Chains A and B, each alone.
Chain A
Amino acid sequence: DTGVSQNPRHKITKRGQNVTFRCDPISEHNRLYWYRQTLGQGPEFLTYFQNEAQLEKSRLLSDRFSAERPKGSFSTLEIQRTEQGDSAMYLCASSLREVYGYTFGSGTRLTVV
């Protein structure tokens, strides 16, 4: 296990389509986080999981955004009915609670046309 893996690296989609991103965290990490970063801005927290439980989802940007971590391992972030404003880099990070250290994935760059 060499780190946090995100797929796809790039996604171009037409407005109105649904997209799903996947994050595979470091296997022993029980916490998983999703962030969004738009051009020129710092990352914006979206949601996080401890194991399979989604402990914070109030920061999800709208009801078009949803995330799952069904077995406490990989996670998916889905955006329904994409809008041009959803174009951004979506970052995933994982951590082991007691250690606090975060490892980030390379991100998925979404472009909505």
Chain B
Amino acid sequence: KNEVEQSPQNLTAQEGEFITINCSYSVGISALHWLQQHPGGGIVSLFMLSSGKKKHGRLIATINIQEKHSSLHITASHPRDSAVYICAVAWDSNYQLIWGAGTKLIIKP
């Protein structure tokens, strides 16, 4: 059974701080997703990774396949980054996503 663990569960930081959210999974995967969900809102796909590193604006996502670990970084954090960030992994067999519990991020001005 593949399990996805995220840390921290909750994170509060000041505007401008560098943010790191971690995700670990237990078995081999075909891809890992980072998703963002604002309160009451839908889910936005930020990144899909199968290896290496991706960057989009102030967001950076990395994955280490050997260690079964991924990180999401936010540089120069801003209050509008406040949201729940979800890590989800996809298996080869059925393409269903297995979700982490999410990290609730609050950026204070």
- B residues contacting the other copy or chain, number (CB 8 A): 22
**Which single residue of chain B is at the shortest CB-CB distance from A42?**
B99
Chain A residues within 8 Å of chain B by Cβ, number: 23
B42 touching A42, Cβ below 8 Å = no
- On chain A, the residues within 8 Å of B102 by CB distance are 42
> Are A42 and B95 interface neighbours, CB within 8 A?
no
Which residues of B approach A to under 8 Å, CB–CB?
A: 30-31, 33, 35, 40-45, 48, 50, 86, 90, 94-97, 99-102
19 A–B pairs (Cβ distance < 8 Å), ordered by A: A31-B95, A42-B99, A43-B43, A55-B94, A93-B43, A100-B50, A100-B90, A101-B45, A101-B48, A102-B33, A102-B48, A102-B97, A104-B35, A104-B44, A105-B42, A106-B42, A107-B41, A107-B43, A109-B40
Within 8 A of B (CB), among A61-95: 89, 91, 93, 95
